[in-house]
Every structure is written in structure tokens, then in C-alpha cells.
Amino acid sequence: MPTTAAIHPTAIVDPRAVLGEGVEVGPYSVIGPDVRIGPGTRIGVHCVVEGNTILGAECQAFTGAVIGSIPQDLKYAGEKTELTIGDRNIFREYVTINPGTKGGGGKTVIGSDCLLMAYSHIAHDCLLGSHIIIANSTELAGHIEIEDGAVIGGLVGIHQFVRLGRLSITGGCSRVVQDIPPYSTCAGYPTQVFGLNNEGLRRAGVSAEAKDALHKAFRVLFHSGLSMSHATERVAQEITDCPEVAHLLEFIRQSKRGVSRA
């Protein structure tokens, strides 16, 4: 451990852990032997970082966060798996994140610049992109994939193997049992598509032309009454020059659990 790490006297840091320059470890926190923490990351009070965990630079873990504890999966048999987390992520109070399992690919991954609010849980083998916001007490079961820029409200329950698309927004207290389409606004129990995430598209700098194309695609996909397979064929024929629409169609084609609809 570099001497530049600031470790509170009550913290327990295994001598085999690797801490980057300027890392701070707060009172009563515990850092395990296979943990690597990037420069400038701050670990708060009563936190635990354990397992085969890589935590990137300039992250913040607030009181009670538990990062890298073993999966809550009865099939887990102690195999060495991974948790890899990027840079500048914020983990608020009592966030919990589990590594992967042998049967699920062996790793949980979180990108960079994400905000996980208090009491949210990321289970084993989840794959999260960057710039994702997950609000308080939202629970992700195992094997979930979330694309860049997605926003999830509080008290949301997400079923195993579900995918949430790029720049989508899911309303609070929703039950997510099917894939959430990219660029969509969804909510409900179970979720339904209500339209485009216009504010998210604006913030991401999506062009007016792309937004118009997405509006046309959404009308066909979610309001035409066509089956999803016929709707995607029609959109592919009518809109051929928009990367955002192409991504939306490919996301739908790859769905295994089905896609939430209006």
C-alpha cells in the first residue's frame, strides 16, 4: 500500500490489498486481500470492500456500502469470481454489489460515472454500462444488463436476465420482467412503454433528425397493433439511415425475455 493512502486508525486494510495514490479509507471500514482500489477513491465509514474486486479511480463509497461480498446464489460454491468497477462512480449508503458466479460468466461489471443511490443492490453477473443512475432501494437480480445512460427510479424490482436499453428511464415502484427498450420512458406493474425519453435524448445531445426518426419508429413498434416481428420489419424498411433506430431494432431482435410494450 502506498504511503499516500489515508487510512483511519480504526480501519482494517489487508496488507495484500493494493491502494492507489490518495485513497482514503474511513473509520471502521474493512478492505480485503484481493482488492485493488484506484487513485483518489474515498471509502467512507463502516464500508466493506472484499473479494476479487477492482474499484476504479475517484469513486466514492458512503456509509455502510458493501462491495464484493459473495453472491446471494445457492449455486455459488466458493469459486473465485470477479467484480470490476470503473472510475468516478458514487455508491451511496448501504449499497450492496456482488461479484459473478461460475455459471453466469464469472464477473459483475460496472462502467464509469454511475450513481447508485442508498440501499440499491446489484446482484451477481450483472453488466452495467456507464452514466447510469439507479435510485434508492432498487434491486437488480442476477444476470441483468443495463446499457449506457439508463435511469431507474426508486423501489424498482428487476427480474433476472432482463436488459434495460440505452438512455431509457424506468419509473419508480415499477416491476420489470421484460426488456426495457432503448430511449424509452417506461413505468408500471409490470412496465409499459409510454413514449420516448425526450429529456434523456436532449441531455445526451441526440440530433433532432434522430429524435424524429425514433418518434416514427416508436409509433410503429408500440402503437400500430402489429406484432413485434412485423413492426421491426416495417421500421427497418422505412428508416434506414438512423444509428439510434438501428440500435433500437437490434436490441429488440436480441431480446430473450420479450420487450415491454405500450
Catalytic residue IDs: 124-125, 142
C-alpha 245/C-alpha 236 separation (Å) is 8
Residue (of 29, 44, 40) closest to 93 by Cα position: 44
Beta strands 82-85; 36-37: pairing state: unpaired
Q: How far apart are CA 195 and CA 197, in angstroms?
A: 7
Q: Can you say whether the dihedral through the CA atoms of 48, 54, 55, 57 is positive or negative? A: positive
Beta bridge partners of 133: 115, 151
For residues 59 and 38, is the Cβ–Cβ distance under 8 A? Answer: yes
Cα angle value 1/88/120 (rounded, 5°) = 105
Instruction: Order the strands of the 151-152 sheet from edge to edge.
Output: 6-7, 24-25, 42-43, 60-61, 90-91, 115-116, 133-134, 151-152, 169-170, 184-188, 191-196
Residue 19 and residue 57 in contact, taking contact as beta carbons nearer than 8 Å: no
